Amino acid sequence: MNRIWDQYLDERDKKVYQGAGLGKKMGIGNKPALVIVDVQYGFTGDSPENIEESIRKYPTSCGESSWQAIEHIKLLLDVARKAELPIFFTIIEGSKSSSNERVAIKGNIFDHPALLEGEKGTQVVEELKPQYGEVVISKKKPSAFFGTPLVSYLTAQQVDTVIITGCTTSGCVRASVIDAFSNNYRVVVPEECVFDRGIASHAINLFDMQQKYADVVSVEELIKELY
Element spanning 32, H or E: strand 32-37
Alpha-carbon span 162 to 82, nearest angstrom: 17
Cα end-to-end distance, the chain, whole Å: 23
From 62, 167, 172, 193, active-site residue: 172
DSSP, res 227: -
Selection from 189, 224, 219 nearest residue 207 by Cα: 189
Give me the phi and psi of 143, to 5 degrees please: -75, 140
Whether 172 is a known active-site residue: answer: yes
CA atoms within 13 A on the CB side of 75: 16
Amino acid at 196: D
Type of residue at 18 = Q
- In whole angstroms, give the CA distance from residue 114 to residue 65: 20
Asked if 141 and 110 touch (Cβ cutoff 8 Å), the reply is no
The single-letter DSSP state of residue 190 is E
Residues with a known catalytic role: 172
